[in-house]
A = this chain, B = another copy of it.
């Protein structure tokens, strides 16, 4: 591998590790367990899982990898707080949706070269990108890796049976 390919490889490994840890944490949970709050009065596990799914699904258009697969997640998990709309998804639904989104992302990520990663993302204008070239796909990937970590740190606080 070249230097630039190896740097991308490091980031993709960390992405995959965070996604895999999230899958391992959430997919064994029952519908009832997903309703637990991470702390009294705070978000429920179902919200954190759906939020990460919706947020990561939005990476598809943001990184120019395709259209959203599950824009229907946003009302319940992205644009408003937990409990803003009634629960409609089961644990099995979320597991399927989570897997679909992350398979599509992995396929998309795998097709990007190191210089592709440095191209602008979809939410920055050509003019702004000229002045702020760090607003690229790779910086988005970095912050989304951290975003998964942020909510996983919360999820593990839920009072699940050990």
Contacts and interface: CB of A to CB of B under 8 A. Distances in A.
A99 interface: no
Contact of A10 (B17, B38, B142): B142
A134 B40 contact: no
How many copies the complex holds: the figure is 2
Contacts of A13: 134, 139, 142
Interface in A57-108: none
A6 interface: yes
Interface string A1-42: 101101111110110011000000000000000000011101
A117 interface: yes
Contacts of A11: 7, 11, 142
Interface residues of A, number: 39
A142 B6 contact: no
A55 interface: no
Nearest to A7: B7
A42 B157 contact: yes
Given A14-B146, A134-B10, A3 B157 contact: no
11 contacts: A6-B136, A7-B114, A7-B117, A7-B118, A10-B138, A13-B134, A14-B139, A14-B143, A39-B42, A149-B150, A153-B154
Interface of A: 1, 3-4, 6-11, 13-14, 17-18, 38-40, 42, 114-115, 117-118, 133-134, 136, 138-139, 142-143, 145-154, 157
Per CB-CB distance, the 7 closest pairs between chain A and chain B, nearest first, are A39-B39, A150-B153, A146-B149, A153-B153, A149-B149, A14-B142, A149-B150
